[in-house]
Amino acid sequence: MNLQFRGLTLEAGDRFDETAALYRTILGEPKFLDDGAWAPFAAADGVTLNVAGPREATGFGLLVSLKTDDLEAAVATLAEAGATLVQPITTGGHQRHAVLRDPAGVHLAVYSPLPA
């Protein structure tokens, strides 16, 4: 199993525009803007800071994004290491994902892209 840190997602809710503007000042233009829903700002080595609007909100506030090639194994490994499963594995339009919470209360969004 391979598990990679891919970035952070800040759920800005109805303050998406102001939040995206702030991070645009710090990090430059986002890779793209999705109509008030999503703005991924590139950092280094493919890591992103994502700003999410209301349509993309999960209610978790801040999420650490972790990409894996084996979602079931990653969820099991993180749970064995002390994380708590908050949202079981589900399938979205382009990925399968689950959400766990670390012992300090930070949410971990673990995902695996769907095959092309």
pLDDT at position 61 is: 86
Tens digit of each residue's pLDDT (9 = 90 or more) over 26-44: 889 999 888 888 999 987 7
Domain 3-113, classified CATH 3.10.180.10, yes or no: yes
- pLDDT for the residue numbered 92: 87
Task: Extract the residue ranges of the chain whose pLDDT is less than 70.
Answer: none
b/e sequence 58-81, b meaning 16+ C-beta within 10 Å? eebeebbbbbbeebeebbeebeee
pTM of the model: 0.81
